[in-house]
Amino acid sequence: MATSTEQAPAEIMAEVAIPASVKVTKEGSFLAVKGKLGTVKKDFLKLPATVTVEGNKVVIKPYGTRKRDLAVTNTARSIVTSMVKGVEKGYTYKVKIIFAHFPIAVKVKGKEVHVENFFGERSARIARIQGDATKVEVQGEDVVVKGPSLEDVSQTAANIEQSTKIKDKDQRVFLDGLYVYSREEGM
């Protein structure tokens, strides 16, 4: 007689504790986290898991019990954690302006960052600012990007860096451009 040693798979679940200074609400598939620095919203519609707010914690339960479901759960936990940190402390990315000959001028105009005189070009290179709460300011040879949403701040910094990407030249020689050099928590 053979005995079965198979065990039922353990239930996968993740919880994120919410501090007293932060308020979390869920409307449909949107999770809104509100704190002293503003509100961050995220759509969890395409996430194969249920996200619920229970008292002072957010509970994430995937639909299955496979390895992939554990990965989805941990990713969702990381997103919610960064949302909570963002509305409490905020995020700051610093971008350095580097040029050899033509002095680069960076100006913020509405929801766009204009990089002027890049390699002597007459037209400005334009990078979009993501999110409503993201603030961009030029401080000497630095461009500082701040905001409560990690996704918006990092994407804005990446847009600024990508706007000065050099094509058809050796990037080891032509080093002019704007480069992200610092990523910090806190505004």
Whether pLDDT at 4 is above 90: no
Query: How many other CB atoms are found less than 10 A from the CB of residue 28?
Result: 8
Whether pLDDT at 177 is above 70: yes
**Model pTM score:** 0.89
Residue 58 has a pLDDT of: 94
Domains of the chain: 14-88 (3.90.930.12), 91-185 (3.90.930.12)
Whether pLDDT at 8 is above 80: no
Percent of the chain, pLDDT > 90? 85
Token code pair at residue 166: 């050099």
Going by pLDDT thresholds of 50, 70 and 90, the confidence category of residue 172 is confident
| Distance spanning both ends of the chain, measured CA to CA | 67
Residue 10 has a pLDDT of: 76
pLDDT tens-digit series, residues 36-94 = 999 999 999 999 999 999 989 999 999 988 999 999 999 999 999 999 999 999 999 99
Mean of all residue pLDDT scores within the chain = 92
- Average pLDDT of span 143-165: 96
β partners of residue 95: 143, 180
Going by pLDDT thresholds of 50, 70 and 90, the confidence category of residue 22 is very high
Residue 11 has a pLDDT of: 83
d(CA 53, CA 16): 10
Going by pLDDT thresholds of 50, 70 and 90, the confidence category of residue 187 is confident
